[in-house]
Structure 1
Amino acid sequence: MPDLRWDEVKDVFDPKLMGALPDLFVPDTTVDDWQALLNLVTTSGWTWKYESGDTEEPLPSADIVLARPSDAEAAYLRVWPVPGVLAIFRFTSVHEIDFDVDLRELEGQDGVDSLCSFIRVIGRGLGKPVLMTNEGGSEEHPVLGYDPVKDKVTMLADDSAVDP
């Protein structure tokens, strides 16, 4: 049974309401959590690519990538959990894992199921919540997220909380 049903969450998957690239994050993380994420990505069977600036490079350890100087080129980890769906992780803070997905790639029940599966795997692997806000939204008001206690993705706000 799916965690969420398209007809109940279609507004949260609407790029016009949420922004095309909603913000997803794992709060209260450490270097060890980042390393667990990197290990998960490399062992999951997902397609991935690490880039520093415009250069594709081998994936470094979390402590190395997070210790880059503040003026270093931006580092990105692009992950395709399923063909046609891209998540982009940014190494901006030790204390939070943040990434984007493109809602235009997540349409209908298949899109909902793909996102729920992806964030459930991350949440289980880290033993932490994975939350989603609208693009540029407040982290204090996530609209959906993985709950590690319930081991499922749930809605966290009603449609009135979606404020583009």
Structure 2
Amino acid sequence: MTRNWNDIKWIFEPDGSLIDIYVQDVTLRKWERLIDFLNTNYDLRFGEDDSNQINKEHVVKYLSDATGEIEAKTLKIYLEGINVHCYFFLSDQIEFDIDPKEINSLIDFESIEYFMISISKLLNSQVTLTGESTPEFPLLKVDFNKNINKILTIDEANKLRENKNSFLSQLSLLKTKLQMKFFPNAFKDRLLRSANEVYTSIGKDKNVW
């Protein structure tokens, strides 16, 4: 698919927030398949000891744990010069995040897009790219088996913004607050907020498109 970087780059303009990738409505079995896939196909670092393999048993136990006693571990995937992070927040929602400052060209974007397509194909699931903590508003939607690969143009986003009932109004408010606060360390802020708030999944049926 031929794309024009000038039509895409607005999504990755740095504003102090992150870009998220979501797979909604998943099961532990899909998590296991994803872990096997990542271990086999990507250079990665897992946990504080920087293991180059994800400990699948540990992750499944952590995602299934109701006591809060199992140690949380983070994952970094090295993707063609782009760092993709995963924190294993929820058993029914897979979430990655990236710093938009690392997406500076069509080649960078295509690396992320291919990553999403591969996961969609593997899990037979829809995969979306969104603003930080806004799974309801996909900016890019990929579903390999349904032959869906659509990225919003800025004009399409502006039309949705005009709808007062759309989630984009909340997205704009969030980005404004982030710009005002100018987080020096967005990754740390994400972790601190998750420790103080109840973090719940959002089903894809709640997405605005």
- TM-score grouping bracket, smaller chain normalisation: 0.7 to 0.9
| Higher RCO, Cα 8 Å, sep 6+ | 1
What is the Cα-based RMSD across aligned positions, in Å? Answer: 2.2
Q: Could you tell me how far apart the structure 1 residues matched to 2:147 and 2:46 are?
A: 29
Where does structure 2 lack aligned partners over 5 or more consecutive residues?
A: 159-167, 176-209
Q: Could you tell me how far apart the structure 2 residues matched to 1:59 and 1:111 are?
A: 25
Q: 1:27 to 1:156 in 2, by over 3 A?
A: farther
Letter in 1 for 2:55: P
Q: Map of 1:9-158 to 2, 5 A cutoff?
A: 9-16=8-15, 19-44=16-41, 46-51=42-47, 54-57=48-51, 59-61=54-56, 62-68=59-65, 69-82=67-80, 84-137=81-134, 139-151=135-147, 153-156=149-152, 158=156
Following TM superposition, the consecutive aligned residue runs of length 4 or more in structure 1 with deviations greater than 4 angstroms are: none
Letter in 2 for 1:23: D
Compute the TM-score of the two structures, normalised by the length of structure 1.
0.82
Q: Could you tell me how far apart the structure 1 residues matched to 2:124 and 2:62 are?
A: 22
Please say if residues 120 and 152 of structure 1, whose CA atoms lie closer than 8 Å, have aligned partners that are also in contact: no
Cα distance per residue 1:91-123 (max 9 Å; x no partner): 111100011012111111111111111111111
> Which structure carries more helix by proportion?
2
Matched length: 156
Q: Could you tell me how far apart the structure 2 residues matched to 1:153 and 1:87 are?
A: 20
Offset at residue 74 of structure 1 (A): 2.4
* Sequence identity (%): 24
Offset at residue 132 of structure 1 (A): 1.6
Counterpart of 2:201? none
> Which structure carries more strand by proportion?
1
